[in-house]
């Protein structure tokens, strides 16, 4: 699935869900889902364009984070970001999604993310268009994919990459 490209329509709504399964014998494991909105030169324009547990809404409401989960024990997605492509400002061309490992532990759990088409913000299941799981949680910040806007449509570009290549202690 890595390096896969998926085309989207301009009016689609998406749910990006993050889940994790704890392997650390009862100790809490905390992963965070985040998104950053960038312009055509991949420059950061406004601090409100970083969407995470402490900034739940983008400035136009195009992205909405459902809130922080510190345990990974939810029935469905532990954290999610809802995306309304029709509300993405024309100045934004890239939305990069990443997973932050807050646990300070390595190899502590199974991590999964999925991208689903949804009908509205209350549609938490949606129609999965891709999902990916990995057991190696030995990362600090993992870039998982990007939504890129060109003149006519949006594409999703899946590219798993350990952003900072930092070994946790």
Question: Which residues make Cβ contacts (< 8 Å) with residue 95, sequence separation at least 6?
Answer: 35, 36, 37, 38, 63, 83, 88, 146, 147, 148
Cα dist from 128 to 14, 161, 162, whole Å: 9, 22, 24
What average pLDDT is seen over the chain?
84
- pLDDT per position as a tens digit, 99-143: 988 876 666 667 889 999 999 888 888 899 988 887 766 777 888
Give the model confidence (pLDDT) of 58-78 as tens digits. Answer: 998 999 999 998 777 777 899
pLDDT in tens, 71-101: 777 778 999 999 999 999 999 999 999 998 8
Strand order from edge to edge, sheet including 79-84: 63-65, 79-84, 13-22, 109-118, 127-134
pLDDT tier at 23, thresholds 50, 70, 90 = low
Mean pLDDT of 19-27: 71
Whether residue 27 has pLDDT greater than 80: no
Beta-sheet pairing, 154-162 with 5-8 = antiparallel
Q: Distance (Å, rounded) from C-alpha 2 to C-alpha 156?
A: 11
Tell me what pLDDT residue 69 has: 86
pLDDT of residue 86: 94
Residue-wise burial string across 99-121, b where 16 or more C-beta atoms lie within 10 A, e elsewhere: bbbebebeebbebbbbbbebeee
Beta bridge partners of 34: 98
Question: For residues 20 and 148, what is the distance between their CA atoms, to the nearest angstrom?
Answer: 26
Percent with pLDDT over 70 in the chain: 83
Q: What is the mean pLDDT of residues 8-21?
A: 91
Q: Is the pLDDT of residue 45 over 80?
A: yes
């Amino acid at each position: 699935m890595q390096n896969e490209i998926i085309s989207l329509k301009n009016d689609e709504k998406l749910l990006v869900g993050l889940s994790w399964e704890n392997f650390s014998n009862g100790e809490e494991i905390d992963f965070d889902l985040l998104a950053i909105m960038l312009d055509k030169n991949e420059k950061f324009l406004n601090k409100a364009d970083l969407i995470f547990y402490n900034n739940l809404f983008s400035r136009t409401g195009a992205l909405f984070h459902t809130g922080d989960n510190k345990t990974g024990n939810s029935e469905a997605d532990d954290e999610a970001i809802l995306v309304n492509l029709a509300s993405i400002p024309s100045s934004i061309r890239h939305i990069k999604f990443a997973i932050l490992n807050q646990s300070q532990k390595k190899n502590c759990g199974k991590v999964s993310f999925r991208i689903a088409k949804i009908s509205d913000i209350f549609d938490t299941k949606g129609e999965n268009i891709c999902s990916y799981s990995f057991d190696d949680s030995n990362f600090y910040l993992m870039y998982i994919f990007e939504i890129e806007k060109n003149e006519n449509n949006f594409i999703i570009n899946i590219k798993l990459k350990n952003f900072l290549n930092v070994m946790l202690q």
